Chain A
Amino acid sequence: MKITLSQESEAQIILASEKRNVFLEGNILKLLETENESFQEYLNKALELDTEVRKKRLDITKKFQDQNKSLQEKATENEQLMVEIREALEKAEHAKKTALNDLDVMQQKSQFELIGSIVQIALRVIVGVGIIVTGMYLFAMYSQSTETTLIGNTWSNLFGILLTNSFSIIGTIMGVKYATNDSGSKEKKDEQ
């Protein structure tokens, strides 16, 4: 299907190109047909310009396409990196929690060990003093010493003091143990 314009239209189109440098463009140029030599020249020139413009546009569009592709690839890479960073952060956070827990356990262990040593020493002292005083009392009784009343009073006083002290130590130990457990569970709750 070919299109033929009137002579007047052809003249006006040529005039527009000469005076205002305006040319027809696009596929319509491939459909126009003429017997007018000057309009044929115009069509040839318009087609040439159109081809140049299309080539330029094609090159630019291809460049844009390439840039788009590389941008998309970079965006995908960035996304992947972000995922990896998030995973690494989660792992680090987990490692930190584990280390803190381990430290807490170690601290509690050393505290319990210390408490255990104190208890052992205190009990040994109490038992030692108790045995010595009881021995002295028994010795005084068997040797029919006149000082049994005094030693007896001293023994009962000492034993009372020792028992009081031992209960006091046990109470302190229980208190320390309770406080340690309580602060530990609070920390765990805070972490959660």
Chain B
Amino acid sequence: MIKSILLVDDENLFHLVFEDACSLLDITLDLRTLSSAESAEELFKVWQNDPTDKPECVFVDLNIIGSAFDGIELVRRINYLYGNGVVVGIISSSADQAEINRSVLAGSQFWIVKSDEIEPRLEAFREDYDKYKDRTKDFTVYK
């Protein structure tokens, strides 16, 4: 089980889907959800000095509507500005190869394609999670 997860996604309905899927699949007991990239960035600024509540894994939506920058830019900032220290990747309904390549350059470790059947992808991700944590698994797209 993953100790704690942060989900950054503008779609509140997906927060519920993700929460229920995580609970049903025993992925985590500690899930935090945010709706904007800016609020996530603010928290990472705080966690840079005091990592007490820092999550173990971060799922970032690709297009966070209402935010000044997209999910890939948030991943880049987490990796290059705020000291990383988390398993971080993109969760998006898109599977555009150009965006996927961009996310790899930003330091994303995985890409999960959002759809009606999110549970099998999350299960597969859970299986691989320890390798992501050890940084022994290459970037993977869960389609």
A61 touching B17, Cβ below 8 Å:
yes
Question: How many chain B residues touch A (Cβ–Cβ < 8 Å)?
Answer: 12
In the complex, the chain B residue whose C-beta lies closest to that of A54 is: B20
Q: Tell me if B29 counts as interface (CB < 8 A to partner A).
A: yes
A66 touching B116, Cβ below 8 Å:
yes
Cα distance A92–B16 in the bound complex, in angstroms: 49
Complex partner residue of B23 from A27, A61, A65, CB under 8 angstroms = A27
Beyond A51-B24, A54-B20, A55-B24, whether A61 also contacts B13 by CB under 8 A is yes
Beyond A27-B29, A30-B29, A31-B29, whether A64 also contacts B24 by CB under 8 A is no
Contacts of B11 in A (CB 8 A): 65
Cα distance A61–B24 in the bound complex, in angstroms: 14
B20 touching A61, Cβ below 8 Å:
yes
Cα distance A55–B119 in the bound complex, in angstroms: 11
Q: Tell me if A97 counts as interface (CB < 8 A to partner B).
A: no
**Restricting to B18-69, which residues have a CB under 8 Å from any CB of A?**
20-21, 23-24, 26, 29
Q: Tell me if A58 counts as interface (CB < 8 A to partner B).
A: yes
Cα distance A51–B25 in the bound complex, in angstroms: 10
Least CB distance from B9 to A in Å reads 12
Complex partner residue of A57 from B14, B20, B29, CB under 8 angstroms = B20
Cα distance A74–B13 in the bound complex, in angstroms: 19
A65 touching B13, Cβ below 8 Å:
yes
Cα distance A91–B143 in the bound complex, in angstroms: 46
Least CB distance from A72 to B in Å reads 11
Cα distance A31–B29 in the bound complex, in angstroms: 9
Beyond A30-B26, A30-B29, A66-B116, whether A58 also contacts B20 by CB under 8 A is yes
Give 12 pairs: A residue, B residue, CB < 8 Å, sorted on A.
A27-B23, A31-B29, A51-B24, A54-B20, A55-B20, A58-B21, A58-B24, A62-B17, A64-B13, A65-B13, A65-B14, A66-B116
